[in-house]
A and B are shown apart, each in its own frame.
Chain A
Amino acid sequence: MALDNKTDFKYIGTRPERPDGLDKVTGKARYGADAYAPGMLHGAVVRSPHAHARIVRIDASKALALDGVKAVVTRADFAQDLEGEDWNLLENTIAGEKVLYDGHAVAGVAATSALIAKDAAKLVDVEYEVLPHVTDVDAAMAEGAPVLRDGAADHSVPDGLHPNVVRYTEFGRGDVEAGFAAADLVIERSFKTEAVHQGYIEPHACLAQLGTDGKGELWCCTQGHWFVRRMCAALLGLEATQLRVTASEIGGGFGGKTTVFIDPIALALSRKSGKPVKLVMSRSEVLKASGPTASASMDVKMGMTKDGKLTAATGTFRMQGGAFPGAPMDMTTMLAFSCYELDNVHHEGFDVMTNRPKQAAYRAPGAPMGAFAVESVFDELCEGLGLDPIDARLKNAVKEGTRSSFGPKYKAVGLIETLEAAKAHPHYSAPLAENTGRGIASGYWMNWGGETSVSLAIGEDGTVQVGVGTPDIGGSRASMALMAAETIGIPYENVRVNVVDTAALGVNEPTHGSRATYASGLATIEAAREAIGKLCQRAADKWGIDVDAVEWKDGAAHPSGPNAGDFEPLSIAEIAGEMGSTGGPITGHHDASPTGFGGSFGTHIVDVHVDPETGRSTVTRYTVIQDAGKAIHPDYVEGQFQGGAAQGIGWALNEEYIYGEDGRLQNDVFLDYRIPVASDLPMIDTVIVEVPNPGHPYGVRGVGETGITPPLPAIACAVSHATGHRMTRLPMSPPRVLRAIQGKGVS
């Protein structure tokens, strides 16, 4: 869908209050754990205490003998003949022959209270035969590493690699050796990042009801309830449309709620007990078993001439995504060099299984790790050649028509505009305090379209309701309302947007891939335009003229010119007030898988103070500059920018999954798993750049994910400049930075 030439927006670009705000700040909003049903049971999950073990026997007799226990489910209570990703999903939901990581679910229990369910879970006797384990990506690829599952590798893996390597990619173009030979400086570095969790505030929670007739209802916190429906139907052997899934309000997802963990177990418990079952994860369960992001081990080599032109680049990216295929090495490889024009470039990627939980998507999955390595080397090249890092980026930055490192050419994109805005920002030229370094980095996320279905209905008073299928995580209901209001020409307050259940619309992909404001917004605009067509028809019928002679503007039908006739405009309320007697309800609907999603580039500037005595890093100033295409509701665009930076700061400085020698997770509570809180952060400044996306009527680009891509390298460069030691391993925790300062390395 092409970009309109509309530039005089009345509602878009304003900052009205979000429709769900009052309910959320007064505690009325209903989240996953806020659902209740008559006769409801409570569930608990039995989890593995081992990183890798064969299940010899499960004896639930003691648990079932406990007063109040109504059902126990194991793998035998789920579909039996699954293949491919459905099998992986089921195997992760509830173990079959082996447990594959600390916290892997083995059985589910339902009882009349949560306490009884937890006690009963402890009474389920599981006999294990403990097996050797591996949790590090490099160790898992090495000769002699324990094999998680023979035959898991797909067609992409060449012969000769360890069986834990389950997917492989390789692509590029040009002559990288000739490119390196033409460079004045070539730098090659190895990098490592640790797995981190999305850190959403709301743990996974659901209320499930499933009859033996295969009809069910599921209430859950999710980014995508159609995905949940499809996955649960597959894992339980149901027909998809017999399961109605309703998405609760959601306390954060960041990609981690695009899959299922406990929902199928709750449904199986309900089917077995004949009662509704509520299941809520503890924080420890969330961290152990709900899918963090991948960790990475990477080698990047880049060459640059003395005037700042890149001549060649290569990257090898080894990613572990837990005990199943799916580490996002494809996105890491495709996006690692996406900021730069390169004639000679080569990528290699490995997806490796380890004894860790199945990774889940996390905001721009795979991109931050690659950016960390590439932008760090770029910074070091600039340092070595005495170049300004923004000027050097401008010399290599991609623009419309540049061939991307992964193949196609870019359409209109805004990297250069973000770099120019960064250079002009007062932050870039502000003096630095002692022991403080400044880092610059750029990043990209290509965004997504996806299956989308939206319905819009005119009320009898001329107000409008919109039904969308993308759960509202970051204010998307307000954005949809603004786009509907703008299109129809009625006040924002006259539009109510509802996230409806799976029985109300066609399939909608989740709120993921930075797609909701783009795709649901585009469908909302088209649904509104369809309704406008019907409103105009009603006016034409009333006036006795052709509909082509009716024009819609400012929320009313007007004769389109003097030749159309002399009629007083008919407002939406006037037309809607009579619709029962002029042809019935007036609605609009739009289904699409739009492909005009435009990617978003961002550039971050950060100052970090490093205490030379302790190695503690403090972010003292942070500025995010990013292309939004068109900011529908600037508050929420800025919020996404700030949120991405905040999560990136945590990933860069503190967060990591720490496994012991026994393969068990050592830091499974927020006291030990250190995400940044408000007192750790400065006010994060934002600059919205608007290079309209030609694939959206109002120019929208998704903005949710790009913001987490530049922070890792920007902060690493700042710490490197503050300490004089190049930081190549995350997180840059105080002990690691102190070791670097003391000349003892960064590992």
Chain B
Amino acid sequence: MVAVNLWSGLRRFTDGAEVVEVEASTVGEVLQELVKAHPGLDPVIKAGVSVAVDDEIVQRALHHPVRPDSEVFILQQFRGG
């Protein structure tokens, strides 16, 4: 299982949990499993998020590998100028 850290504002979509464990081996699977576990997260994911895996911001790289002991953060979508 991969522990996925969410930002606090998402707790109301996850029954109060700020860390959600999912079975996943890629970033795409992490996002898919998050929505499966907590459908309220669907519009959040669809609106766009950035994902950090083991301290690397991998943006929307759905194929990026995730290990069971990876540290995963769902972050607000990055924007640049």
Contact = CB atoms under 8 A, between A and B. Distances in A.
B80 A407 contact: no
B36 to A, nearest CB: 17
A451 to B, nearest CB: 10
Nearest to A84: B47
A408 B52 contact: yes
A92 interface: no
B75 A407 contact: yes
A172 B47 CA distance: 21
A317 B11 CA distance: 20
Q: Which of B9, B12, B47, B60 has the most CB of A within 10 A?
A: B9
Interface in B38-81: 40, 43-44, 47, 52, 55-61, 64, 71, 73, 75-81
B81 A169 contact: no
A640 to B, nearest CB: 12
Contacts of A705: 80-81
A333 B78 CA distance: 12
18 contacts: A155-B44, A156-B9, A171-B7, A255-B80, A255-B81, A330-B79, A334-B76, A365-B81, A406-B75, A408-B52, A409-B55, A411-B56, A447-B80, A448-B78, A448-B80, A450-B59, A513-B81, A593-B59
A172 B8 CA distance: 7
Question: Max chain A CB contacts within 10 Å: which of B52, B55, B58, B61?
Answer: B55
Nearest to A333: B76
A141 to B, nearest CB: 17
A469 interface: no
A-B interface, 8 closest residue pairs, ranked by CB to CB distance from nearest = A513-B80, A255-B81, A361-B81, A330-B76, A171-B7, A408-B52, A407-B73, A170-B9
Interface of B: 5, 7-9, 12-13, 40, 43-44, 47, 52, 55-61, 64, 71, 73, 75-81
A595 B61 contact: yes
Contacts of A254: 81
B81 A363 contact: yes
A214 interface: no
Contacts of A129: none
A449 B76 contact: no
B58 A169 contact: no
Contacts of A154: 43, 47
Contacts of B40: 155
Given A407-B7, A407-B75, 14 more contacts: A154-B43, A169-B76, A170-B9, A258-B81, A331-B76, A331-B79, A334-B75, A408-B57, A408-B73, A446-B57, A448-B78, A514-B80, A595-B61, A705-B81
A533 interface: no
A363 B75 CA distance: 20
Looking at chain B's contact residues, the main secondary structure is mixed
B57 A595 contact: yes
A471 interface: no
A328 B40 CA distance: 23
A331 B78 contact: yes
Contacts of A366: 79
Contacts of B61: 593, 595
Interface in A554-611: 593, 595-597
Interface string A409-442: 1110000000000000000000000000000000
Contacts of A156: 9, 44
Contact of A364 (B44, B76, B81): B81
Nearest to B40: A155
Interface string A355-374: 00000011111100000000
A364 B7 CA distance: 22
B12 to A, nearest CB: 7
Q: How large is the interface on A (under 10, 10 to 19, 20 to 34, 35 or more residues)?
A: 35 or more
A170 B7 contact: yes
A334 B76 CA distance: 8
A156 B13 CA distance: 10
A534 to B, nearest CB: 27
A333 B75 CA distance: 11
Interface in A171-190: 171-172
Given A593-B59, A595-B64, A408 B71 contact: yes
A168 interface: yes
Contacts of B59: 449-450, 593, 595
Interface string A650-685: 000000000000000000000000000000000000
A92 B64 CA distance: 36
Nearest to A363: B81
A361 B79 contact: yes
A361 B77 contact: no
B17 to A, nearest CB: 14
B55 A171 contact: no
Interface in A507-527: 512-515
B70 to A, nearest CB: 11
Contacts of A331: 76, 78-79
Contacts of B73: 406-408
A735 interface: no
A408 B76 CA distance: 13
A390 to B, nearest CB: 27
A114 B44 CA distance: 46
B56 A155 contact: no
Contact of A513 (B8, B55, B78): B78
A519 to B, nearest CB: 11
A596 to B, nearest CB: 7
A237 interface: no
B81 to A, nearest CB: 3
Nearest to A513: B80
A514 B76 CA distance: 18
